Amino acid sequence: MRQAKARVLVLGGTSEARSLAARLAADRGFDATISLAGRTKAPLEQSLPVRIGGFGGVDGLTRYLVEERIDKVVDATHPFAARMSAHAAQACAAQGVPLICLSRAPWRRVDGDCWIEVENNAAAVAAIGARPRRIFLTTGRLGLADFKGAPQHFYLVRTIDAPATGDLPPCHELILARGPFTLELEIALMRQARIDLVVSKNSGGDSTYAKIAAARQLKIDVVMIAPPRRETMRIVHGVEETMAFLAGSPRI
């Protein structure tokens, strides 16, 4: 008798999720769907069937797991998608659905880096200081309004999609672009804009690391916002480890 395919839900939105989706699409042992939050206006093409939008909190995700008969879940959301990760942990625990987190390893400080490590946007604003500075702000469009509390600075803001106009600091220049970015272009951008401080989330991965390498080469300080902790779930950093988890024994 033919064995039923394992039904997998991938909570996506990252390059790691896209790589996993490609592997799952090529494996006949899985019936998988990738879910995107819908925050990016033009999401990249996926190899799996896609659902877009929120689930409606923990209760909504729990219902989805039951109605779709999901066997396993992979949380491959952005390292800073703390709410979605928390909802996934609660919903999977309630239904006994095995869950794993496929996450990028965070960037590590190396010789030449000058980082001020902080926990959140509010701490980043405080770390910038009172003296007017020229800041390369690369924290994404969500939470930009927090930096309106320090209007004395110039902000070179880079996001994938345009933020709400009311969220932008009063003195800014906006760049809409999606990585990957090269070291040469990041150095040229920072020099042209006379940047003297970079504010970044520690999102890990290769796509946007060039700005950190550029800051190191130009001897520019970096305010680095640490990712939220995911203490209640198993975390892996590779597709192979994730596939091994998915190919393991089904839930009890």
Q: Where are the domains of the chain?
A: 6-105+229-247, 115-225
Same-fold call for 6-105+229-247 versus 115-225:
yes
Tell me the CATH number for domain 6-105+229-247: 3.40.50.720
Q: What is the pLDDT of residue 232?
A: 75
**Section 121-149 average pLDDT:** 95
DSSP secondary structure letter of residue 92: H
Distances (CA, A) of 19 to 53, 71, 104, 138, 202: 21, 20, 12, 24, 21
Asked whether the predicted pLDDT for residue 43 surpasses 70, the reply is: no
Q: Which amino acid is at 141?
A: R
The dihedrals phi and psi of 99, each to the nearest 5 degrees, come to -130, 140
Q: How far is Cα 205 from Cα 102, in angstroms, rounded to an integer?
A: 12
Q: Sorting pLDDT into bands at 50, 70 and 90, what band is 3?
A: low
**Section 82-93 average pLDDT:** 93
**Section 6-33 average pLDDT:** 91
Q: Sorting pLDDT into bands at 50, 70 and 90, what band is 14?
A: confident
- Summary mean pLDDT of the chain: 91
**Residue 225 in tokens:** 């916002």
What pLDDT digit, counting tens, does each position of 217-240 carry? 999 999 999 998 877 788 998 899
Tell me the CATH number for domain 115-225: 3.40.50.720
**Section 199-212 average pLDDT:** 94
Q: What is the pLDDT of residue 252?
A: 37
Sign for the CA dihedral angle at 20, 25, 31, 36 comes to: positive
* Predicted model pTM: 0.80
Q: Sorting pLDDT into bands at 50, 70 and 90, what band is 2?
A: low
Q: What is the pLDDT of residue 106?
A: 92
CA 129 to chain CA centroid, Å, is: 27
Q: How far is Cα 37 from Cα 20, in angstroms, rounded to an integer?
A: 17
